[in-house]
Amino acid sequence: MTDRKTRPNVLFIVLDDVGFSDLGCYGSEIPTPHIDRIAAEGLLYNNFHVTAMCSPTRACLLTGRNAHSVGVGIIAEWANGEPGYDGRIYPSAGTLPEVLRLSGYNTMAVGKWHLAGTEEYGASGPFNNWPLGKGFNRWYGFHGALADQYYPELYVDNHPIHLNPPEGYHLTEDLVDRSIAMIRDHHTSAPDRPFMLYLALGACHWPHQAPARFIDAFKGRYDHGWDEVRRDRLARQIERGIVPPDTELAPRNDDVAAWDDVQKDDAVVRLSTRLQEAYAGFMTHTDQHIGRLLDYLERLELLDDTIVVLLSDNGASPEGGATGAINLRKHMVYELDEPARALAHIDKIGGPDAYNHYPTGWAQVSNTPLKWYKKDTHGGGVRAPLLVRWPKGIAADGVGAKGMRGQFHHVIDVAPTIYELLGIDPPGTLAGIEQQPLHGVSMAYSFAAAEAPTTRETQYFELLGDRAVWHQGWKAVTRHTKGTPTESDRWELYHLDADFSEARDLAAEQPERLDSLTRLWLREAERYSVLPLDDREWERAAERIRDQARDRYDYFPDMARIDRLMAPDVTGRSFAIEATFEKTAPALNGVILAWGSGFGGLVLYAQDGEFVVEYVFSQDERVRVAIKDDARTGRGRILACFDRTGDGGLDLTLSGDGLGTARGTSLKAWPTHGMTAGLSCGRDAGHPVSTAYKAPFAITGGELIRASLTIVSETARDRRGALTAFSED
């Protein structure tokens, strides 16, 4: 077993959708003193790169290999099963925790995983692509791209759990609590063994949710708009040496309006500034709890013996669109969340009854001084913060002083760096499977050599048809338009060593260099399993989702929660919910079946002598249908039928044995598969679908025997809508 006296602990902290300039130490006006401490006592990298989306970056980080080569060229939800795009890490790409565990480390994961196929999220697995199947001894966290910070769908090790969050709960606080508990238990039972903790926070991915006091601290801070905030951030970056003094702001992105024009619409101004206040509050709240973890390690006298690595998985997200949204689920999938209408809910922003995300103007601010966003292979998508702290390996002064490092590096270089620092050679075979070589190189040389040239020569990038290649300080990049031939894409050329923000396109001036780089990209793509290119998003999953479908789903009280992306796909279909129960009292009370949340979903429940169906298209559009119960005890049955209409809507009929019938007509049908929350039987396990009860509202007055959901028929299906759920990257 490895002795902690000879090998340090390892702590990875992965932020989500945090742009290059969002941290205080990278020039932000958002105070992040605890994260800044890592920079002040360690190293800040300004030329560090990731992939443009979360699953691929996480695969690179944990394996030290390029994303396509390990099967994760795209997020897990959009995997199509083709080489390079399988949505899960190949066994030939052993992970850092697998190797460290063989070397005596206790390996623990907390937070977001997003490296397993959606069909694997159930209580029966398979579990080989869950954290415990990829080298971790413990896991507490969530699958998928995102989580509601107040009502997350969580797992412990290989088990989904019913959280029933108490008043005041917040996921970030919970994840840090669990991290501290795991470290405490480890240190109690094996103080001489080192540990690896992988803390992958849901922050700051949308929904941007944080306690009100954190958001209110920024009230009025952004009233002067995104153009001025962006200029201010660049000025601080130049002043602090984070970017070169001649760095220009990249031109305003095409989908961002000038703030002077935005100011003409008061509703847009009020909404967009409050949405940015929520993001800033989310960031400071996250920082506070990262500080709590660092303080705990210091209290145990472990902090200085721990290699701390903090990074973001990609650039800031543009998914809020031009105006942002209070209910992004509705805004992205159903219909635009018009600012004038959204203002009625402005006081809910950041709280449990909002699913908010900021406009693209603030996303570009997050990526200052770079262009474009997450999903793009320009700087705004792939240049990310990276901080490293390890006092025993980073000198305090003189040559190798703490401070900034400007060498080009990529997220595939992190694992090789850890291996070098720990003196571990990754095995050639793992569990009998021959391993791919590492694609990354160690960054450890840069710890003691601030001005040393980078040891990297080349790095390719690809995502959804966007391509780029960096080679010896030059970058060729193209922004692909979905549905168009890649041959028609226009390549741009930048000398990054002299043009930090990709502001000066040299393609017309140096066509030969550009041609050489595009040919280099093709060679790298062939080498690392990038081809063939595929610019589809949710459409990639069509065949896989169809293969998972059943005609009938049986649910039982107190069963494990069904993840939102494993729930039945009823898009374009008629369906029915039938429940059988045994009453032991005159009135049955409680939730029979709950699916989704108050942002969109449906619930069948009994309350105050009625059986009720509430169908929630969005927070503002709800339909309630009820029939009277009677006082009879014994076996009973209730049936809710949702019938597709010719105009694409739904008619709802609720009936019961001897209880009559009630109807609701012309319901708006969900144009998508997958709600903001999953499905529970005998209780409402998450954000309550209805405001008529307090979750979990478990069954009393009898026993729920079974609830069945049957797909009654399938009409001509709108596969576009059915798969839009998988745009939740």
3-state secondary structure 558-619: CCCCECCCCCCCCCCEEEEEEEEEEECCCCCEEEEEEEEECCEEEEEEEECCEEEEEEEEEC
In the β-sheet with 590-597, what is the strand arrangement from edge to edge? 621-628, 610-618, 600-607, 590-597, 679-681
Phi-psi region at 133: left, alpha or beta (left = phi > 0; alpha = psi -120 to 50): alpha
* The pair of three-digit structure tokens given for residue 56, joined into one six-digit string: 């691929």
Provide the phi-psi class of 483: left if phi over 0, else alpha when psi is between -120 and 50, else beta.
left
With beta carbons less than 8 A apart as the criterion, state whether 327 and 354 touch: yes
Tell me if residue 200 falls in helix, strand or coil: strand
Question: What does the angle CA 371 – CA 375 – CA 380 come to, to the nearest 5 degrees?
Answer: 25
Q: Coil, helix or strand for 69?
A: helix
Under a CB-based contact definition with an 8 Å cutoff, are residues 462 and 533 in contact?
yes
* CA-wise closest residue to 164 among 154, 175, 177, 178: 154
* Tokens standing for residue 189: 């039972």
Residue type, 713: S
SS3 of residue 9 by DSSP = strand
- Helix 266-299 vs helix 171-189: angle between axes, to the nearest 10 degrees? 10
Interaxial angle between packed helices 54-63 and 414-422, expressed in degrees from 0 to 180 and rounded to the nearest 10: 20
Strand order through the sheet with 403-405: 159-160, 155-156, 138-142, 106-112, 195-200, 9-15, 306-312, 386-389, 43-45, 403-405
Q: What is the CA radius of gyration of the chain?
A: 26
The 3-state DSSP class for residue 479 equals coil
**Residues 267/269/274/277 CA torsion (nearest 10 deg):** 170
Catalytic residue of the set 25, 34, 54, 345: 54
Does residue 469 sit in helix, strand or coil? strand
Q: Active site includes 54?
A: yes
Q: Which residues pair with 43 in a beta bridge?
A: 388, 403
| Structure-token match 């705004």, residue found | 380
Please tell me which residue in 49, 68, 114, 285 is annotated as part of the active site. 114
Catalytic site includes residue 114: yes
Catalytic residues: 54, 114
